[in-house]
Amino acid sequence: GENVEQHPSTLSVQEGDSAVIKCTYSDSASNYFPWYKQELGKGPQLIIDIRSNVGEKKDQRIAVTLNKTAKHFSLHITETQPEDSAVYFCAASGPRVDGLTFGKGTHLIIQP
Amino acid sequence: DAGITQSPRHKVTETGTPVTLRCHQTENHRYMYWYRQDPGHGLRLIHYSYGVKDTDKGEVSDGYSVSRSKTEDFLLTLESATSSQTSVYFCAISESRETFDTQYFGPGTRLTVL
């Protein structure tokens, strides 16, 4: 089955700086890659996603890039703000309808 | 939380007792999922449903069963709870076969098995 590795497990950045979280996946058939943000005590919230026919997608301060050849994808957050502090999860899914495979999460800490 | 509620939100139970968690959606989405979240493991799929009475197993289905008699409700049952099933359980939904992978999550149920 699919295996998703996520790094780093903890990332601390100064407010206003950029943050990058990276994920790799194992199944070349995977074709959908979402990113979720989870705040303490809440469910994961979908913040951005990308499909395999696209190399990059942006939404304001957030962007995701995908390299299908290398089987890795990354989340980029620019001009970080205190409200960006949370745990971020990457995930992957393939053409089969059988759920998402998640990375283990990155705890992003924004230092004032 | 995309019109998803989970009940109860918190539960403490004893080993060997049966437990049922409920997920209710108001979006009329076809697909529903149960995941568990544990430190160091991220979220892992337990079971999913692709329609009323249509369910299938996920990665960590042992010890769990599910039922879906109505579009809006998806029940997760622990027939005889064990301490290893202490976890936070999340329900998710997705709209259709074409967008099955775009999943939205509920607020979660924290289950403690003593």
Residues of B in contact with A105 (CB under 8 A): 42
For residue A26, what are the CA distances in angstroms to A40, A71, A88, A101, A102? 29, 7, 20, 11, 12
Q: What is the pLDDT of residue B54?
A: 94
CA A69 from chain centre, in angstroms, equals: 18
Q: What is the pLDDT of residue B39?
A: 87
Whether pLDDT at B12 is above 70: yes
Contact A105 B42 (CB under 8 A): yes
Question: DSSP class of residue A93?
Answer: B
Q: What is the pLDDT of residue A22?
A: 98
The 3 state secondary structure assigned to chain B is: CCCEEEECCEEEECCCCCEEEEEEECCCCCEEEEEEEECCCEEEEEEEEEECCEEEECCCCCCEEEEEEECCEEEEEECCCCHHHCEEEEEEEECCCCCCCCCEECCCEEEEEC
Q: Which of A95, A107, A103, A100 has its CA nearest to residue B92? A: A100
pLDDT tens digit sequence for B51-105: 999 999 998 999 999 999 999 999 999 999 999 999 999 999 998 766 667 899 9
**Higher local confidence (pLDDT), B21 or A94:** B21
Whether pLDDT at A111 is above 80: yes
Q: What is the pLDDT of residue B97?
A: 67
Q: What is the pLDDT of residue A15?
A: 97
Q: What is the pLDDT of residue B1?
A: 54
pLDDT tens digit sequence for A25-79: 999 989 899 999 999 999 999 999 998 888 999 999 999 999 999 999 999 999 9
Q: What is the pLDDT of residue B99?
A: 66
User: What are B104's strand-pairing partners?
Assistant: B93
Note whether B103 contacts A: Cβ–Cβ < 8 A. yes
Amino acid in position A74: S
DSSP SS3 for A21: strand
Candidates A46, A49, A99; nearest CB to B48 = A99
Note whether B34 contacts A: Cβ–Cβ < 8 A. no
pLDDT tens digit sequence for A70-109: 999 999 999 999 999 999 999 998 767 678 999 999 999 9
Q: What is the pLDDT of residue B47?
A: 96
Give the C-alpha separation, B48 to B38, whole Å.
19
Tokens describing residue A64: 């995701």
Residues of B in contact with A43 (CB under 8 A): 1, 4, 90, 105-108
